[in-house]
Structure 1
């Protein structure tokens, strides 16, 4: 098509719109996210791969930062630059892409680490890592392996440590870090507890098996609703019937009152030591 025709149709009052150099949207409205992704891959060239936040959204992850950026991986030798909403990353270790709704997309571990590297909010970094593991998109070790391959900074490694330790949310990561900074006995995270007959009791956020002590990080948002409140009462009743000592803590207090929370944990653990350990076990 003649350049003059493209120029005329993309000019003021025209019916088309230039998105990127050499990439034209055949309508004049605002481009959708899908338009931007397709345009970014066209700009990057053959063999390019979508990664980062937009890739994670295609897998169905929800705890994602808001961004207009389309992050694309290209071979290291390719000469193409960032432009508008497209961030180009040259890589000597391109992953094998997976087709997600017709788009070549990086595997979840690579997409998570790529997204985390460009996210300054460490809580959001933890949230992305935790959701990817919690919902079964990848194993914690896959994130660790990808981070080792990327050879990136200590802040991401610090954010990953609670996930490797068993935390599955930002609040649980705060709890994990608080417990690690204390001199409290060993704690396991998100393990399933059963009574002597093999009947399921609960899956506490934190579990001290030595003393059969459960620590629950209970947010108002989840546990205050009708269903959440009913489920919490039923869980606590199962704890009581099994003889398990349990402490419930609001997530906000892990940061606002860490010293008081540790003191409460010590007191609860002391109470657990005073009674015979109940016949409960973890799996």
Structure 2
């Protein structure tokens, strides 16, 4: 009698063909992704024996070649470890760029390297990769992965990484704050923050606000760097304001002056003033200092904003039109800001004459 012997399942192709994929997401896989491709836990363990073709990169994450991992492979592995990979690789995620990273977001120096910061160094040379996860996650730091739990997960920015595709990365300001939190050398902090502003990665005010929310402004290594950062940011903003006047054909104003009532009190400094039109432009480069609320608490009144508002109200009661510009507006919509200033200058003829004010150099 012929016995019908069941056929053994065909071994997964993954086990019997040399890996030549240029896609990092195919060279580093989680245990769940391997199971979805037909590779059992026993087969995975056998492949990772000494001298085998695979290796155990991180808990639950495997590198499918015997050589040392590249920076991109370590990055992908860190996200797989900290994220929540899909149980089945046969079911594509809703977002093709997700790659099974779940709620994990790269931050700190690794994120800055992806943004192209020279001071962050090469991704492959980093000793650790910081990954943000929600505070409710029960996950430990391990090997080269530093897990940072947070109650306020930022919205991820998708940044392209070579042969990985788009990687979820914290916004520049948050990545900088997380990187600075692990730094103790004031010179290193200064170089990093200076590059952020000069490289136009972010505005100083938003960066200092993030540092304040992370409660880092009181650290000795940060204090001097922040003062230099704000001075650098103001210089950049003033340069944009000069460019706006020149490039859009606005009348030349009096630059960087102080207004004062004759025989009376000072009215405050102004970045640009057109005395014939009684129009002033003021740059808002304020930023919170030590003692500002932490992340999640934005109810505290900003004393700098109160001073701005009081000065503006006083000037407008005297008939001076104050145009309030931020460095971000000048950077992102200079044409629109030039139109706002031009409109204010044209409207001067239809207004009541302003009170006489003295204009002094500042």
Band the TM-score falls in, shorter-chain normalisation: 0.5 to 0.7
1:139-150 residue pairs with structure 2 within 5 A? 139-150=203-214
The structure that is helix-richer by fraction is 1
2:200 is matched with which residue?
Answer: 136
Aligned partner (choices 101, 115, 122) of residue 59 of structure 1: 115
User: Is 2:219 aligned against 1:154?
Assistant: yes
Larger-gyration structure (1/2): 2
1:163 is matched with which residue?
Answer: 229
Aligned partner (choices 139, 153, 159) of residue 80 of structure 1: 139
2:260 is matched with which residue?
Answer: none
1:87-126 residue pairs with structure 2 within 5 A? 87-101=146-160, 102-126=166-190
Calculate the TM-score normalised by the size of structure 2.
0.46
Please give the alpha-carbon distance, in whole angstroms, between the structure 1 residues aligned to 2:60 and 2:104: 16
Aligned partner (choices 11, 19, 28) of residue 66 of structure 2: 28
Runs of 4+, deviation exceeding 6 Å:
none
2:46 is matched with which residue?
Answer: 8
- Please list the CA deviations of residues 83-142 of structure 1 after superposition, one character each: whole Å capped at 9, or x if unmatched: 000000000111111001111000111111111111222211111111011011100011
Please give the alpha-carbon distance, in whole angstroms, between the structure 2 residues aligned to 1:36 and 1:166: 35
1:202 is matched with which residue?
Answer: none
Quote how far apart the aligned CAs of 1:2 are.
2.5
Q: Which runs of 5+ in 2 are unaligned?
A: 1-38, 84-101, 161-165, 247-255, 258-360
Work out whether residues 197 and 232 of structure 2, in 8 Å CA contact, stay in contact via their aligned partners in 1.
no
Please give the alpha-carbon distance, in whole angstroms, between the structure 2 residues aligned to 1:150 and 1:138: 17
Calculate the TM-score normalised by the size of structure 1.
0.58
What CA RMSD, in Å, does the superposition of the two structures yield over aligned residues?
Answer: 2.7
Work out whether residues 64 and 124 of structure 1, in 8 Å CA contact, stay in contact via their aligned partners in 2.
no
Please give the alpha-carbon distance, in whole angstroms, between the structure 2 residues aligned to 1:107 and 1:128: 15
- Please list the CA deviations of residues 136-160 of structure 1 after superposition, one character each: whole Å capped at 9, or x if unmatched: 1100011111011111242223321
